[in-house]
Chains A and B, each alone.
Chain A
């Protein structure tokens, strides 16, 4: 837990109340099926999540149980949804990103190597910060895996999926290995084909205004979210860098304070103390912006991609349907294989209509979720920024009061 209190002044750095952790998605928690990640363990190169389920549904043997899962198993579950034709008409909740501690680990390693070149205090300080960073990344990956599960559990159809139940209940290893090189290559080509196809499909104008609008909207929206996400990451990185500088400045001021032979020594010590505190607040500001803004944008980047995928599938089904119609007309004209053509056409028609129906609702829900999530996060962002700015202000003003009074 990143609990950090301040000696004087209110507790600006206390951890947020942990409420429902699905920060990016506004979900109703439903008594019939509740899923969360109750614990997680970070080992050398993998993370083990403890998935905890509470359910009154009859399909499960018990009402409450836990299993341990790794990232690959989440991906397996996600991919099984994507590959299931039955779910073609739904927005598949985006898969959580792979836990990535590489950057953090590298920094810790570099710190270890550079231990000789800095003072003991500096080393301890930097080590604490890197550990806090590691912890933050860890918490984030846990949250993202949890959101995925919660979205599935909240979806009226997906929650009934058999693979999902196996995932939740089967307390042995699912023996899902990660994709090997060949499979990854196949995936890559599949994506290339899909995006080429997607362009063709997108070119087909839709009779239905609703979907036509959604298509245009999602395409532009997705790109803009991508841009905003990248820019917000860069901004937050700069913020962290500036906070690091203030950290170094505080340390040097402290040394100056201890060494100075004039009245400045008290002065330097006081200012050093001030900067230590304001730096912590600045670091918190960057972390909160990351959580409330950057993560939000990243999540909706993935969701909007999933929505685009839905539209693609529908578009694909539409093209298939139209092709089946043309084939039927041709068959009737030639009076050859008419029955077969009729069956194909009917199948395509049903598939298309089924997807269209659920897709419409999914897209409407997507909008509702999106607006709610943005509202929640933007409000919380503004509240946190205010809290931190007021905290900073109070620290600065009280220090100024003391320093001016001393002269």
Chain B
């Protein structure tokens, strides 16, 4: 019986380990056929007017994220989604090492794949549509297997909704992939060349990782927006303000938070844990970016090496042709063949460099920005609490003044206001403590996932390097007798 999912769902039941979870790593669902394209930076593209869909329960939630107005908060936190109440997660990540499969299976059952990119429309209005398939046995889903069609802006829309709902509570919301004007334009214009194929594959893979990370988060998995995204066949088009890229939103969040911090907040950090963690994430950010840059450079140089090796192979073959000593001529032709095979090896290796390491690092650089954003949210919460205390103090002073002035109606108002602000101070304190608690938990979960992700990926990468060396040995061992045969 297949260990991965309940029998009724799994099609390949009789195997001892189901194919569908053998690909344990989060990030690879199919062999990468693409290579590197550096992510261009974004600017929002217009997605046309918003359809006023009456069934869209979250219409209000899709307003532009305005970070300075405290009024926004009540709308969202009291909203219809039940998932906002913090839930102690039972969760273990769905990603599986072959050995650990057995223990993890019963608690987390969801697989998501993004596939079959299809171009819809023509010219500059064209866009790619991806098939999102969800297979699960979890009860919150209405069916065991769902397929929907989504476009890139839908993913961005999902992210911005989730960010606006959860970030201020201290949840680390995984960011959506970056927009790319250059990449998309090529696709739209209809260039069927290798680079646009690679671009689409890169994006498809990134979207898949994004969704998997999102549902890995216990609170987000239950979020109605997420469920709707995965299940409903029609999705209201994301508004132009929604079409800001994930990175754009994060930047907005962080910039606003920074501005606030610099202006007024000198937070008395009573908890050394937060200070320490912030510093650690700061350092991690710097190093990961550096590493990412080096790996991207390696990817390019390896591709270059592959091209140059192929070119050398051709010239060696030509040299072999013109050599008039028969045995040497044959050996040179063999050398050319070896070099040709090696060039293919280099190319494959560069794909591994990219898809395993480079993309992982890119994802984590963006994730850490989200983590830093969450710490800033906590500071904001603290500031809000402090402000409320200041306000309360002022109201009390005002009331005291009115006591002497003997204006009974204004006095009543003042007393009411005091009560109001007392409530706000209490709420502020509660919110601050809640977000602090959430962040501790989120960071713990994040770090655990980070350890697992890096371990798995690096091991897989080293295995790819092992494979390359083994092939090299094979090729040179075959060549050596040819070289020795030159007489």
Q: How far, in whole Å, are A230 and B312 apart by their CA atoms in the complex?
A: 8
Please judge, given known A-B contacts A264-B454, A389-B472, A393-B469, whether A241 and B304 are in contact too, CB under 8 Å. yes
Which B residue sits closest to A374, measured CB to CB? B328
Contacts of B419 in A (CB 8 A): none
Are B472 and A231 in contact, with the CB atoms below 8 A? no
A32 to B402, CA, bound (A): 121
Encoded as 1 (CB less than 8 Å from any B CB) or 0, chain A from 379 to 402 comes to: 101110110011011001101100
Which chain B residues border A227 with CB–CB below 8 Å? 315, 318-319
Within 8 A of A (CB), among B452-487: 454-455, 458-459, 462-463, 465-466, 469-470, 472-473, 476-477, 479-480, 483-484, 486-487
Q: Is the CB of A400 within 8 A of B454?
A: no
8 Å CB contacts to B: which residues of A273-310? 274, 278
Report which of B288, B315, B480 forms a contact with A386, defined as CB distance below 8 A. Answer: B480
Flag whether A242 is at the interface (Cβ < 8 A): yes
- In the complex the two chains form, what is the Cα distance from A115 to B321 in whole Å? 50
Number of interface residues of A (CB under 8 A): 59
Interface residues of B in 424-460 (CB under 8 A from A): 447, 450-451, 454-455, 458-459
The distance from the CB of B347 to the nearest CB of chain A, in whole angstroms, is 12
With an 8 A cutoff between CB atoms, is A271 at the interface?
yes
Residue of B nearest to A375 (CB): B486
State whether B294 touches A248 (Cβ < 8 A). yes
Complex CA gap A309/B458 in Å reads 57
Question: Is A101 in the interface zone, CB < 8 Å from B?
Answer: no
CB-based contact A382/B479 at 8 Å: yes
CB closest chain-B residue, reference A225: B319
Q: How far is the CB of B350 from chain A (nearest CB, A)?
A: 9
Query: Which residues of A, 240-278, contact B by the 8 Å Cβ criterion?
Result: 241-242, 245-246, 248-249, 252-253, 255-256, 259-264, 267, 271, 274, 278
Q: Is B280 an interface residue (CB 8 A)?
A: yes
Q: Does A158 contact B (CB under 8 A)?
A: no
Would B477 and A386 count as touching, CB distance under 8 A? yes
**Interface residues of chain A: helix, strand, loop or mixed (majority):** helix
Check A264 against B325 for contact (C-beta < 8 Å). no
- Pick from B298, B314, B473: contact of A245, CB under 8 Å: B298
Q: What's the tally of chain B residues with a CB closer than 8 Å to chain A?
A: 58
CB distance from B290 to the nearest CB of A (A): 5
Could you tell me the distance in whole angstroms from the C-beta of A358 to the nearest C-beta in chain B? 21
Interchain CA distance A152-B284 in the complex, whole Å: 62
Cβ B331 vs Cβ A378 within 8 A? yes
- B486 close to A371 (CB less than 8 A): yes
Is the pair B450, A231 in contact by a Cβ cutoff of 8 Å? no
Q: How far is the CA of A136 from the CA of B188 in the complex (A)?
A: 51
CA–CA, A278 to B465, complex, Å? 10
B283 CB-CB contact with A under 8 Å: yes
Give the residues from 269 to 310 in chain B that come closer than 8 angstroms, CB to CB, to chain A.
280, 283-284, 287-288, 290-291, 294-295, 297-298, 301-302, 304-305, 308-309
B183 to chain A, nearest CB (A): 24
Query: Chain A residues near B462 (CB, 8 Å)?
Result: 271, 274, 396, 399-400, 403
- Nearest CB of chain A from residue B363's CB, rounded to whole Å: 16
Q: Chain A residues with Cβ under 8 A from B129's Cβ?
A: none
| A242 close to B294 (CB less than 8 A) | no
15 further interface pairs, Cβ-Cβ under 8 Å (given A225-B319, A245-B301, A274-B462): A221-B319, A245-B294, A256-B288, A259-B280, A261-B280, A262-B447, A262-B451, A271-B462, A278-B465, A374-B332, A382-B480, A386-B480, A396-B466, A400-B466, A403-B459
Q: List 16 A-B contacts (CB under 8 A).
A: A221-B319, A224-B315, A224-B319, A228-B312, A237-B308, A238-B309, A245-B294, A370-B325, A371-B486, A374-B328, A374-B331, A374-B486, A379-B484, A393-B466, A400-B462, A400-B466
Instruction: List 6 tightest A-B contacts by C-beta distance, closest first.
Output: A238-B305, A245-B298, A378-B483, A375-B486, A231-B312, A235-B308
